[in-house]
Structure 1
């Protein structure tokens, strides 16, 4: 998984409208009144202004899988569910209704991933849900199990090739807490349950592997100048595959780090 980097802020007119709706639901006299307001503005988070802006942040890719819409239509999802929240034991808590129109709680997710996630949003054992209208700091300290793709925790999920494609796996060198979060995130999102997704990731893996083999085979061409050119070309091609805007760039990175010679890894990921 690759960390999504947010730059700038959404259109100011959308934010103004969203803030006005949020003020209404916070001032509602009771739950029924609040629900009426929420129902009246159902789908405002799908408005083209915010959807297009969010899509542009990660080159029109799902923030969980890096897949484009060739896998499934892409939706605006609430990272913390707005209506109700399902725990790992099957019980339910109240949702984060006050974040319904807060763009910082939005994630761009493929429909099939979003449907699998649904209302599931557990906390780590012993943690308590953040209170209504809490601060962003309190939300960050809440102890969510699900990995937020906007954080460095995205590094906890890597990829590997299997017989049928390429699947999400745990990153190496992580501790027990990180392992639990990564395992549950893969399970909650169903990152390995969509055959077409696994196959497309596998194709990306194989493309990278072929370039790595081109690099290794360059020395068979004799002339040193030609060998050098072929190696540099292979490195340039691999650099393209791990660019932020490339589909499945994290799959390409995993393949390179696991399969390429040290010299290639150093060259592709040079700082």
Structure 2
């Protein structure tokens, strides 16, 4: 997971589309859930979030990758338009799970692009665990204090009252690098602070988004091996260049300098936001560049 600047992509106009009565979907949803006849169970038919303009805007924003796990999938699947705060119900809320954040169903800042493995409830094998388990975000939205859920659209301070208690990382709000780190074999884990305490947001996000699912870890490991191989090529190119740098043979110096530049460019490609698992690359490649070349990414 990496930080994503939502301002890079404009809000899709479709989200403010009005019906023949001149009302937006958000206005109609508010009327539905605040109506005296609402029985607490009847769902509103949300549609606008799935508009093709909205989907394309999210694809552009997240570079065709899942906002949570950074896997690419557009070559086999169009992706889910994910509601960070769930629109229909809140799994952890009590005593009533319904409705969810109905007034945010068409809110641009509440929408992300997700793969089905992070977003939907599916059966997964986790890294290091043999048995399968049904996991995935779906309608989960845990808070550190379950009494702090904002359940109405007209709350004076809006969602701000709830934010200090939010436990899930949002790549458009938080910097995931402050919370997540990567280990051998592509595993992901919570970072620890100076006191040795694990990031609670990282722990909960890894669990809810299923970021330790076996096939995802294997995919990250494959990318990690590619990074390490390219780092080795840069090391060798650097040694060769340093060996010849004092030589009067300018042709040889130019030759080895060109090789070093080529290998460095190959390494930096892992940091391109369009690539998979840039969060891991920023840790692995970033540390190598900082220590060996004084380059801060």
**TM-score after normalising by structure 2:** 0.76
Deviation digits for residues 43-78 of structure 1 (CA, Å, limit 9, x no counterpart): 431110101111101211110011110686520011
Of the two, which has the highest radius of gyration? 2
> Distance in 2 between the 1:149 and 1:104 partners?
11
- Cα distance 1:52–1:178, how it changes in 2: closer, same or farther (>3 A)? farther
2:109 corresponds to which residue?
Answer: 104
> Distance in 2 between the 1:127 and 1:4 partners?
30
Is the contact made by 1:25 and 1:34 (CA closer than 8 Å) also made in structure 2? no
> Distance in 2 between the 1:126 and 1:259 partners?
42
1:52 corresponds to which residue?
Answer: 56
1:143 corresponds to which residue?
Answer: 165
> How do residues 11-160 of structure 1 correspond to structure 2 at under 5 angstroms?
11-17=12-18, 20-28=24-32, 29-30=35-36, 32=38, 38-39=44-45, 42-69=46-73, 74-87=79-92, 93-94=97-98, 95-115=100-120, 116-125=136-145, 128-133=148-153, 134=155, 135=157, 138=160, 141-155=163-177, 156-160=179-183
Return 5+ residue gaps in structure 1 as ranges.
Answer: none
The yes-or-no answer on 1:255 pairing with 2:284 is yes
Cα deviation for residue 38 of structure 1 reads 1.7
Is the contact made by 1:168 and 1:192 (CA closer than 8 Å) also made in structure 2? yes
Length, aligned pairs only: 261
- Cα distance 1:136–1:178, how it changes in 2: closer, same or farther (>3 A)? farther
**Aligned-pair RMSD on alpha carbons?**
3.0
Is the contact made by 1:79 and 1:106 (CA closer than 8 Å) also made in structure 2? yes
Greater share of helix:
1
Is the contact made by 2:192 and 2:199 (CA closer than 8 Å) also made in structure 1? no
Is the contact made by 1:86 and 1:119 (CA closer than 8 Å) also made in structure 2? yes
Which residue of 236, 239, 264 maps to 1:217?
A: 236
> Distance in 2 between the 1:131 and 1:175 partners?
35
> Distance in 1 between the 2:167 and 2:29 partners?
28
- Cα distance 1:209–1:91, how it changes in 2: closer, same or farther (>3 A)? farther
